[in-house]
Amino acid sequence: MFNRHIIAAIIFLWCTSVTNAQSIHWLDFNQQAFDQAQQQHKPVLLDLGASWCHWCHVMDDSTYEDSTVTRYLVDHYICIKANQDKRPDLYAKYKDYGWPATIIFHEDAKELVKEAGFIGPTDFLVLLKKTYNGYRYIEPQKQIASNPVITGEWSARTAAFVRNNFFEYLDMIDGGYDMQQHFLEYDGIEYALRHYKTNNQLKKWLPLTIHGSYRINDPAWGGVYQYSTNGNWDHPHFEKILSIQARYIKIYAQYYEEMKDSSALSHAKNIISYLNTFLHSKNNLYYNSQDADLKEGEHAGGFFALSSANRYKQGIPRIDSTCYSKENAQLADAFLYLYNATNDKSYIITAGNILAKLKKDFKQPDGSYVHDRAFTSSIALADQLYLCQALLHYYNITKDTAALQEARSLGNYMLAHFKGKNKALYSFSNNNKYLPPDYVLSENIDACRVFQQLAQYGNTTYKTAGENIFGYISSPAVLKTIIAEPGILTAKEILH
């Protein structure tokens, strides 16, 4: 008869082997993963999410923990998991699919399936089997992206089309856009601030939108939630993301400066209070985000309805303590807008400290800036672009020539490393054969403006670059795809 300890050990080893056999071996998105796929002739699944994302947690805990799903993935797929915050190349490529995003590739990296959002175990298994068996083939986007974009002639008719497209999306009842999600989008607010005096619709929409957005500001801790669903401001997604905090500070500061509405300034200061309490890294930079959930995968509406004191009794949602260059550059720029609105020099100091720290820790020998010091394989346009924007703003206020010199250096780098055949700028460096870069419209709208600002300091190359980029963002192929893009109109106004 076996000793009971030996039996127990055998059972333990058997259970462990079964568990290990059914556990997904997640890889990074790199050549090694696709080499393995080609060796085993398996498709590649990318689970692209975010550390702060509620539905990513739910999908991890339900779909990817389902034994049938797990077994099928282990047997038939090469699996990649990536955090879009850490991978600006993957973010730029698939941001339109939200998080979690599920992308399935052929072993040669052709995209087969792209799905947005949470997928339950039953539906996910159907999708996996259907794709593995060769259905739902989609022509890879990299073939489409290589086609040249024919620039169009800007005309009053073109401007009217862009303007009417923007106005069609204005929610004149609740503010924001007439979409399922409600949030503040910078280009729309800026355009309204430039034109509300001569347009009654914008004059009504602008304060309606700003004041409506206060309902997704956290009344207990400060800070602003990512957005609200259900077509109004009353169903917030509770994650707090640094880039969004920066955007709202910038918007509220400009709104206060123009309208002298102290409520906007108060909300901007509440956001800063939140940042300094929860996301300040103590080294002059700021952390990336705070989770939507107190317990991963469990909806936290009840928690966020509590007072500050009662929240602390239960705990603090997880904070992603990574510092990224783009988001911190955007925050530095936002602090400078607050200085413009208030003349409080402490905001200049804070912005200067952020910019100095980014230069010290993120600048590479070739003059570029990495997004994340832990990921240096691809350089992203956004990190160069928004740092250049912040440096120009800093120079305009302080006349610090070193800031202008660094901005020019970044402008030169962008033109040397990101310019495509269309003379627009690619979203990231093209050094990964499995991930060809695309043009991101919002980045090119902002780049058009940044190069026009650089051109004010005497280099006609920058002016030409801005005009070339505008040719792309106003091209017929791009205009056919736009949804409320008034930034194109503002870019044209700035060109003159």
**Average pLDDT of the chain, as a whole number:** 92
> Minimal CA–CA distance to 367: which of 375, 359, 376?
359
**Strand, helix or coil for residue 280:** strand
- Show the domains of the chain with their CATH numbers: 4-143 (3.40.30.10), 156-495 (1.50.10.10)
Supply φ then ψ for residue 343, to 5 degrees: 65, 20
Give helix 242-259 / helix 200-213 axis angle, nearest 10°.
130
The pLDDT score that the predictor gives to residue 149 is 65
Beta bridge partners of residue 101, listed in sequence order: 48, 116
Give CA separation, 325 vs 242, 252, 270, 380, 472, in Å: 11, 23, 23, 10, 27
Judge whether 51 and 289 are in contact, CB under 8 Å.
yes
Pairing of strands 319-320, 289-290: antiparallel
pTM of structure: 0.91
Judge whether 111 and 105 are in contact, CB under 8 Å.
yes
The pLDDT score that the predictor gives to residue 19 is 39
Return the exposure string of 196-211: e unless at least 16 CB atoms fall within 10 Å of the residue's CB, then b. beebeebeebbbbbbb
The pLDDT score that the predictor gives to residue 22 is 66
Strand order in the sheet with 111-116: 78-83, 44-49, 101-105, 111-116
Residue 493's pLDDT band (boundaries 50, 70, 90)? very high
> What sign does the CA torsion over 7, 8, 9, 15 have?
positive
- Is the model's pLDDT at 151 over the cut of 90? no
- Is the model's pLDDT at 276 over the cut of 80? yes
> Minimal CA–CA distance to 234: which of 295, 169, 301?
301
Mind listing the pLDDT tens digit for each residue in 66-124?
999 999 999 999 999 999 999 999 999 999 888 999 999 999 999 999 999 999 999 99
Q: Which of 151-155, 364-368, 379-383, 389-393 has the lowest mean pLDDT?
A: 151-155
Peptide bond into 148 cis (omega under 30): no
Non-local CB neighbours of 462 within 8 Å, separated by 6+ positions = 411, 451, 452, 454, 455
Q: Which amino acid is at 299?
A: H
| Helix (H) or strand (E) segment spanning residue 347 | helix 346-362
The DSSP result for 117-168, as a single string, is S---HHHHHHHHHHHHTT-S----HHHHHTSPPPP----HHHHHHHHHHHHH
**Strand, helix or coil for residue 82:** strand
Give CA separation, 385 vs 23, 364, 408, in Å: 41, 15, 11
Return the exposure string of 306-320: e unless at least 16 CB atoms fall within 10 Å of the residue's CB, then b. eeeeebeeeeebbbb
Taking residues 321-327, report their average pLDDT.
Answer: 97
Judge whether 297 and 56 are in contact, CB under 8 Å.
no
- Is the model's pLDDT at 323 over the cut of 90? yes
DSSP 8-state secondary structure symbol assigned to residue 439? B
The DSSP result for 353-403, as a single string, is HHHHHHHHHHB-TTS-B-SBTTB-SS-BHHHHHHHHHHHHHHHHHH--HHH
DSSP 8-state secondary structure symbol assigned to residue 181? S
Q: Which of 98-112, 254-268, 330-344, 390-404 has the lowest mean pLDDT?
A: 98-112
CA 413, distance to chain mean position in Å, is 22
Taking residues 241-245, report their average pLDDT.
Answer: 98
Give CA separation, 422 vs 76, 149, 440, 447, 475, in Å: 39, 6, 13, 14, 10
Taking residues 40-60, report their average pLDDT.
Answer: 95
The pLDDT score that the predictor gives to residue 429 is 87
